[in-house]
């Protein structure tokens, strides 16, 4: 599990090498067992790619995930914007009590609102990310509303 986690971190770090409007921070409260995600957004000529590395652990349950979403973005007014996108989610979980573990694969959608401050390079966002699981079982989750706090560079 540690080698897999390090490999995911390496892929995440390599994605940060291009010159574009980028944001790096956290996404908190995304649901389905992931308390927090390290979140990176990479600008792609008006739209962007969001990559999130999630982690959750309590009472012998551990899960990590990598989610990638292509997002279309638009301005509502001034620094207030919307975004919506589609992507994929790959998760790995284990439960120590029953010595059980599995892989999860899902298609995701994401929609949200964000605000970028003028005085400081900070972006705040609220979004929802529903998931349609393909593996290990076919299942749908609406997701929870998540708060994103990111540094813009």
Domain extents in the chain: 2-14+25-152
Is the confidence at residue 141, as pLDDT, over 50?
Answer: yes
User: Residue 18: pLDDT band by 50, 70, 90 thresholds?
Assistant: very low
Query: pLDDT value at position 35?
Result: 77
Separation of first and last alpha carbons in the chain: 32
The pTM (predicted TM-score) of the whole model is 0.82
Task: State whether residue 3 is helix, strand or coil.
Answer: helix
Domain covering 2-14+25-152 in this structure, CATH number: 2.40.160.20
The rounded Cα 71 to chain-centroid distance in angstroms is 12
Q: How far apart are CA 42 and CA 122, in angstroms?
A: 15
């Amino acid at each position: 599990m540690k080698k897999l986690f390090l490999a995911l971190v390496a892929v995440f770090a390599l994605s940060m090498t291009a010159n574009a409007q980028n944001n790096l921070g956290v996404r908190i409260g995304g649901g389905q067992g992931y308390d927090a995600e390290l979140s990176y957004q990479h600008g792609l000529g008006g739209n962007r790619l969001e990559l999130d590395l999630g982690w959750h652990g309590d009472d012998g349950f551990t899960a990590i995930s990598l989610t990638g979403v292509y997002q279309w973005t638009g301005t509502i007014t001034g620094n207030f914007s919307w975004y919506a996108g589609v992507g994929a989610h790959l998760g790995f979980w284990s439960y120590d009590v029953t010595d059980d573990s599995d892989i999860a694969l899902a298609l995701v959608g994401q929609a949200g609102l964000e605000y970028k401050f003028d005085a400081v390079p900070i972006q705040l966002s609220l979004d929802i990310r529903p998931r349609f699981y393909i593996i290990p079982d076919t299942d749908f989750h609406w997701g929870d509303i998540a708060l994103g706090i990111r540094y813009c560079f």
